[in-house]
């Protein structure tokens, strides 16, 4: 019996060591890529480039109204019921973890509605406009017509390739499936946000992959090679968009940050392009 227990303990230590090494490698990859900086670069770039504000202004009132309505309704209808459940597992901390949970739920609902019905075209223009502003016109021209001029948004013409993919039932199912993690004190909420960030990170370059003409297998290969950077970007973007009232603002700045990141990858100004992007680019050409 003691021998069996010893074998189990050794196996557990081995698995823990493997998981630690994988996590260490992911964090190292994320740090080298600088992906964690792009949400903040997006804020600065958006604030200092007024030419990118037009899509934001065109959607600000309806989206703010939607966000306020969802947030108010969620706190009014679900705060006390969820607090009553979380207090049994989180104790006094339930007051705060319930707020975090409702913020995340409200953000998901508002994003589901706004991205599908209010913001899709505006975010698409913001992403493409940022690429144009960064002189990545060659790749943008693969997905839409471009006009002459100096204003990056005004230069955007007819869309030739389908825009961002919409919120999928699979993403909603995954969100609901991970929701019970919030019943685990503190750690569960953190893990939940990290999982949401990883899911979000996998979609931030959907438009870039469209413009590149990459197949689903090429996209999957690229994302698997760079899990750490995309999970880091997605986690920070998720946290920013959980902030009430200004979540819409951060949706646009995160889009700008993703476009800046794509421009750096395209122009080989990113650590991620060393040895990987050229191979994928060649594969994409062969696929065509």
And the tokens for 166? 């919409």
Residue whose structure tokens are 């999957």: 220
Residue 16 has pLDDT above 50, yes or no: no
CA separation for the pair 85, 94 (Å, rounded): 9
**Can you list the pairs that 223-229 forms with residues at least 24 positions away whose Cβ atoms lie under 8 Å?**
225/276, 226/29, 226/33, 226/272, 226/276, 227/26, 227/29, 227/198, 228/25, 228/26, 228/27, 228/28, 228/29, 228/30, 228/33, 228/35, 229/29, 229/30, 229/33, 229/35, 229/201, 229/272
Residue 191 is predicted with a pLDDT of 83
Distance in angstroms between the alpha carbons of the first and the last residue of the chain: 61
Regarding pTM above 0.85, the answer is: no
Residue 222 is predicted with a pLDDT of 93
Beta bridge partners, 156, equal 146
What number is the average pLDDT over the span 23-41? 72
List the single range of 19-23, 78-82, 167-171 with lowest mean pLDDT.
Answer: 19-23
How is residue 118 annotated by DSSP? Answer: T
Assign 3-class secondary structure to 200-229: HHCCCCHHHHHHHCCCHHHHHHHHHHCHHH
| Burial group, residue 182, by CB count within 10 angstroms (0-12, 13-18, 19+) | buried
pLDDT tens, residue by residue, 118-173? 888 899 999 999 999 999 999 999 999 999 988 999 999 998 876 655 556 666 67
At 6, is the pLDDT very low, low, confident or very high (cuts 50, 70, 90)?
Answer: low
Report the chain's mean pLDDT, rounded to a whole number: 81
What number is the average pLDDT over the span 88-99? 85
Residue 276 is predicted with a pLDDT of 46
When comparing pLDDT for 90 and 283, which is higher? 90
At 197, is the pLDDT very low, low, confident or very high (cuts 50, 70, 90)?
Answer: confident
Of 202, 194, 200, give the one whose Cα is nearest residue 222: 202
Helices of type H across the chain: 2-33, 38-48, 54-90, 94-117, 120-133, 137-140, 169-178, 187-201, 206-212, 216-225, 227-241, 247-266, 277-287
Residue 10 has pLDDT above 60, yes or no: no
When comparing pLDDT for 234 and 184, which is higher? 234
Residue 20 is predicted with a pLDDT of 43
CA angle 210, 213, 216 (to 5 degrees): 80
Residue 287 is predicted with a pLDDT of 46
When comparing pLDDT for 81 and 276, which is higher? 81
Residue 104 is predicted with a pLDDT of 78
User: Hey, CA dihedral for 230, 232, 235, 239, is it positive or negative?
Assistant: negative
Is residue 238 within 8 Å of residue 195, measured between CB atoms? no
When comparing pLDDT for 240 and 27, which is higher? 240
Residue 30 C-beta-side C-alpha neighbours within 13 Å:
21
When comparing pLDDT for 64 and 179, which is higher? 64
Residue 116 is predicted with a pLDDT of 76
Q: How many CB atoms are closer than 10 A to CB 210?
A: 17
Percent of the chain past pLDDT 70, that is, above it, reads 76
Q: 156: alpha, beta or left, given left = phi > 0 and alpha = psi -120 to 50? A: beta
Percent of the chain past pLDDT 90, that is, above it, reads 37
List the single range of 246-250, 267-271, 280-284 with lowest mean pLDDT.
Answer: 280-284
What number is the average pLDDT over the span 238-267? 90
Q: 166: alpha, beta or left, given left = phi > 0 and alpha = psi -120 to 50? A: beta
CA separation for the pair 239, 190 (Å, rounded): 11
């Amino acid at each position: 019996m003691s021998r069996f227990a010893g074998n189990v303990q050794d196996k557990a230590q081995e698995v823990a060591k493997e998981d630690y090494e994988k996590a260490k490698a992911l964090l190292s990859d994320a740090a080298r890529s600088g992906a964690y900086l792009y949400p903040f670069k997006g804020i600065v770039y958006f604030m200092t480039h007024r030419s990118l504000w037009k899509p934001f202004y065109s959607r600000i009132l309806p989206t703010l109204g939607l966000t306020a309505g969802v947030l108010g309704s969620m706190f009014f209808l679900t705060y006390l019921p969820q607090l009553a459940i979380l207090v049994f597992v989180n104790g006094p901390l339930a007051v705060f973890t319930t707020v975090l949970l409702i913020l995340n739920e409200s953000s998901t609902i508002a994003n589901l509605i706004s991205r599908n019905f209010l913001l899709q075209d505006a975010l698409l223009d913001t992403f493409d406009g940022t690429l144009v502003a960064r002189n990545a016109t060659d790749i943008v021209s693969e997905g839409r017509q471009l006009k002459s001029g100096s204003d990056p948004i005004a230069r955007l013409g007819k869309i030739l390739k389908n825009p961002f993919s919409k919120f999928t039932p699979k993403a909603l199912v995954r969100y609901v499936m991970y929701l019970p993690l919030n019943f685990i004190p503190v750690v569960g909420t953190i893990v939940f946000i990290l999982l949401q960030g990883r899911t979000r990170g996998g979609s931030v370059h959907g438009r870039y992959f469209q413009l590149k003409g990459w197949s689903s297998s090429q996209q999957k290969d690229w994302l698997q090679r760079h899990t750490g950077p995309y999970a880091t970007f997605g986690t920070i973007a998720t946290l920013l968009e959980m902030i009430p009232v200004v979540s819409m603002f951060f949706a646009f700045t995160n889009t700008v940050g993703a476009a800046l990141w794509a421009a750096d990858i395209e122009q080989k100004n990113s650590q991620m392009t060393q040895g990987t992007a050229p191979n994928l680019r060649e594969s994409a050409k062969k696929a065509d």
